[in-house]
Structure 1
Amino acid sequence: MERTGSVSMQDVAKEAGVSPQTVSRVANGSDAVRPQTRRKVQEAMERLGYRPNYAARALKHGRFNNVGVVLSHMTAYGNSRILAGIVDAAAENGYATTIHTLDTVSEPTLASVVDRMKQLPVDGIIIVMESPLPDFDTFVPPQDLPIVLISEDPANHCPTIDSDQYGCSTTVVDYLLSKGHRTVFHIAGPSSTRAAQSRMQGWRDSLEQLGLKVPPTYFGDWTADSGYQAGLALAHEPDCTAVYAANDQMAYGAMLGLRVAGKRVPEDVSVVGVDDSLGDTVPRLNLTTMRIDFSKIGRTAFSMIARQCSGKQVPVGVKHVIPAELIERDSVRDLDA
């Protein structure tokens, strides 16, 4: 059961000068091996091309040391950073990662996604939910397979984690009003996504709670081009001195659109985005934004799965929230200064 190709555990033991039991302990991640001996065995495995038989390990220990991840739009900034956090945390803890995309499912539900993942050698599943799934409230998870949802809404059946989407907006509105702006215009993301809905609701609630008139909402699709079109239109709003865009791509596009239409940023219009995603692609970036730690979301989601795999309880019915951080740059003007 522990043979991979023509290389056996006994071959590795002979090459490393240790017992087959020691090789087994190293292959199964046991701590009962001295570091020097572990390195010797791992080097022998590498030289011989030996790989542990994970099916045999699962039969023996009840685990595959593999976590499944389900998400849509793998190349989207937030999803890619969440996935990187999961993969990194998994690797650091001796886990592999199996990825499945919702795009391949014609009518996805939590039940159908989990049923498909149950056919694979995974110890738990992390599901990244951008949009609501129809059985979110009625889904009953299997007792023998831990599931964590990365979701804006807390689930009453699975542990849930996400960033504070609503709080991003309340922080931005409070920040811009503190700079002397009388109101804040908003470029929202697609209404089909929960992140866009929550960010728009936080913006709206903040203004209404202060008795301020809520300006008309401009909708984009997360892309810089949609922000650019919104910026061109916002330049003709006479009361528009501050714009809050639901992500950095739309915020950056809006800055360009405003400038093409004859407005200066930040002298005439201040702009704030969300996610802090452009630092590696835009030189001399001056966009003020709310930084979301997507990698931490992924790492924490993995730790929640790992705790359940080790028999520990993780609370359900409440959402574990990763707060965002305001990053001040040069796209906001203080009107009171």
Structure 2
Amino acid sequence: MNEFFAGIFAAFLSILPGGAAEDIGFPGYLEADYVYVAPVSPGRIAGIDVAEGQTIAVGDVLFALDDAQQQALLAAAEARVASARATLENLVTGSRSQEIDVIRASLGKAQSDLALAEANFARSEKLLAAGAVPAVRVEQDRAALASAQAQVEQLTAQVGVAELPARNAQQVAAEANLTAAEADADRAALDLKDRQTLAPIAGVVDRLFYSKGEMAAVGTPVVSILPEGVLKARFFVPETERAGLAVGATVSVGCDGCTAMTARITYLAAEPQTTPPVIYSREERGRLVYLVEAELDAPGILRPGQPVTVTP
């Protein structure tokens, strides 16, 4: 519900005489806090698995993005894992094939890559704590860090065993190479999984903002969900009645064609809403109204936007 309707209710209440609310109740409307679901990566929508008005449970598939590229990357990563595992298992003998200075140069580059991966991961963790990025971003940076660490470990091992028999050096490198390949495969699998978006909460699908075939951007909602069982009445009370209400108090909510319901006050505005200059004379105080929110115990089939009347 937008601020336009809130202003109408506030203006209506401001012209009522002080005792009128006691007889007719406080006018208001029902409202809910919607959950807006967006993809964690951009792409073309391959399919939408829900419809407006459909009841969904946690974990239900909402929509999926085209994942052809992610499937190809995962297949390539799994192939590298199989190759690295076969090399390690079938290694029988080997010999040093690179000079120590070449290995150290490669190690220096790998260490620089590792420092960058560590900085990216630390920054992602801070942004996640601030709610600025999704958790999947942290997982991706963690996988990249693991890959960089494995690369450094691989080259460090090569330097350490450069003077040892060639077979030992190759075996250590093969083990590190397998670890790096597995980390890359894990990251590719995570990227593929993220192409399918699941419902984070149970409720009813309220709006679909995109259609199949359209491009979806990161952070742009594709689906909005009305959580089940969460509905509140927003109403306005005159300044003369505000002292009689408190957070946690029970009120009665009624509407046309429905039976009275109970609700519990969860919010009581500290600042009044009024259009004239704020001069708190006795006459002006009678025009002040305060926003109050009360969560319904059992909203039933009622929907947001329903006009209601609230009585203490």
Report the TM range for the smaller structure's normalisation. Answer: under 0.3
- The TM-score with structure 2 as length reference comes to 0.22
TM-score by length of 1: 0.20
Higher Rg of the two aligned structures: 2
Larger relative contact order, structure 1 or 2 (CA cutoff 8 Å, min sep 6) = 2
